[in-house]
Amino acid sequence: MAYRQWEIMERAATGPFMEEKEFLNKRITAKMREVIKKYGVKYDPAHPVPADDAMADAVWQAAWEFFRDVGVYNQDTHRIMEFSEEEMREALYCAPSSYTVGVGKDSRVFGHRTVEDPRPPFVIFSPDITYDEADFFQACVAYLKEPLLDAICSPLLEDFQGRAIQSKTPFEIGGSMQHAMHLRSAARLMGVPGVCMIAVGTAETDVAQVAVSQPDWGIRPSDGRLVSSITEMMTNNAMLNKGAHYQMYGSFSGNLTGTIYGAYAGGAEGTAIMQAAYHLMGLLTYGCQFQQNFPFHLKYGSNTGREMLWVVSMYSQAVSRNTHLVQDSNGFANAGPGTDMLFYEAAAHAMTSTVSGANLWEHAPARNKHANHGTPLEARFAAEVGHAVARQGMKRGQADEIVNALLAKYEENIADAPIGQTFQELYDVAKAVPTPEYFDLYKKVKEEVHEMGVEFIY
């Protein structure tokens, strides 16, 4: 259930007044500098997957104080939604540690994981990019074929009825409805009609999200939804509308948050702290059931570089060790499909996230910026890595060694990473299967990662 939903929503209109620039430049940045120093949070570039419980706990303590003293800013009302220590503890105590999502034989348990947890992660497959309308259905089919898929956040629609989809227009509503209908049809054809769908990514606005809440042909209460934060620690009335609608409709909602490394949070230390703090924002502001994390580098738009993997590991460990909240980690790679670099990045992100106590949301290639540049094969590879390292009981120290070895293969190429090829070039679209050449590349890199110490199950 949502935590005290209407009392919280009232604060969006009655909280302390402040101009946005003052909130960002004074309230956020000043408090972040204070908690970094107070709790001694320190980035260690030598260890992208740190095995430092004390540092993970310090990140959580800093995040707790940061959120308590900063709150959440409503851009529409210029009001700060504030939360007391008692409310934070009550909401955290009352939050469930797992949820059953999906329907019938396709239902799965989406739950909290511990650091170095031997249980495999819950894996959400998603390319996080737009596809051409003509190939959207087959792209959904290709993803839904994947056996390790626990839930899907499908490709997004680039256009509808031959027109580019624009937010806040009837074409957004039409495209969002088509997205939902095609995804439901594809799931039925692939024999997984009850699979949990984290939807609808094409629906950017609150109105479009309400339009697809229809259990017969659209999004069901058994499915997942996303409501975003605004960088950093901000919301608006449209976001609050989404959050309220999801709770009343009965969906499992996630707080979609990506702290920007190099912006208001500062460097690695502040980025890890703020990303941990977003778990409290999702819980208290929107009543979310899970946290969808995608911190990213300001310059590169990815989270597979050395400093970003440290961030991913630290906030994941901090939340895992100090709460029972459900979290997942969204991979954003620099390279595109059809490159060995993308597979190395996917492996590094999946391994880092899994041993640090997170579930997986995989995988956004080519910095999430190029239409049609995403395939299920890199998501499959990330899922296989996640399952393997959990099943073999991999510890953070071993993961740190392997991730350093993976970084050695791609780190120097991050700035000019290749965008790769499209889904249409790498897959037989009619059959929704990878081309032999692309599958051979996948097998080659899988063997390389196996030789590094990952004991793949098959």
Helix axes 237-249, 5-14, angle to 10 degrees: 170
Encode pLDDT of 397-415 as tens digits.
999 999 999 999 999 999 9
Answer yes or no: is pLDDT of 119 > 80. Answer: yes
pLDDT at residue number 1: 55
Encode pLDDT of 42-94 as tens digits.
999 999 999 999 999 999 999 999 999 999 999 999 999 999 999 999 999 99
Q: What is the dihedral of CA 24, 26, 28, 30, to 10 degrees?
A: 150
Query: Phi/psi zone of residue 393: left (φ > 0), alpha (ψ -120 to 50 degrees), beta?
Result: left
Where do the domains of the chain lie, and which CATH numbers do they carry?
98-136+225-242+253-452 (3.20.20.460)
Q: Is the preceding peptide bond at 146 cis, omega within 30 degrees of 0?
A: no
pTM: 0.97
Residue 87 contacts residue 280 (beta carbons within 8 Å): no
Encode pLDDT of 373-386 as tens digits.
999 999 999 999 99
Coil, helix or strand at residue 167: coil
- What is the C-alpha separation between 264 and 256, in angstroms, rounded? 18
Share of the chain above pLDDT 70, in %: 100
- What is the C-alpha separation between 157 and 454, in angstroms, rounded? 36
Long-range contacts, 338-342 (Cβ 8 Å, 24+): 338/420, 338/421, 338/425, 338/426, 338/438, 338/441, 339/417, 339/418, 339/420, 340/409, 340/441, 340/444, 340/445, 341/409, 341/410, 341/413, 341/417, 341/418, 342/378, 342/420
Encode pLDDT of 3-56 as tens digits.
898 999 999 999 999 999 999 999 999 999 999 999 999 999 999 999 999 999
pLDDT at residue number 3: 80
DSSP H helical segments within 255-305, as ranges? Answer: 268-281
Residue 458 contacts residue 391 (beta carbons within 8 Å): no
- What is the C-alpha separation between 154 and 164, in angstroms, rounded? 18
Coil, helix or strand at residue 457: coil
Two tokens, residue 13? 């209109």
Encode pLDDT of 247-305 as tens digits.
999 999 999 999 999 999 999 999 999 999 999 999 999 999 999 999 999 999 999 99
pLDDT at residue number 264: 96
Residue 295 contacts residue 315 (beta carbons within 8 Å): yes
Share of the chain above pLDDT 90, in %: 98
- What is the C-alpha separation between 400 and 405, in angstroms, rounded? 9
Q: What would you measure as the largest C-alpha separation in the chain, in angstroms? A: 60
- What is the C-alpha separation between 294 and 256, in angstroms, rounded? 8
Helix axes 85-94, 268-281, angle to 10 degrees: 70
Among 200, 248, 203, 239, CA closest to 221? 248
Residue 81 contacts residue 18 (beta carbons within 8 Å): no
Answer yes or no: is pLDDT of 312 > 80. Answer: yes
pLDDT at residue number 118: 98
Q: Is the preceding peptide bond at 78 cis, omega within 30 degrees of 0?
A: no
Encode pLDDT of 145-204 as tens digits.
999 999 999 999 989 999 999 999 999 999 999 999 999 999 999 999 999 999 999 999
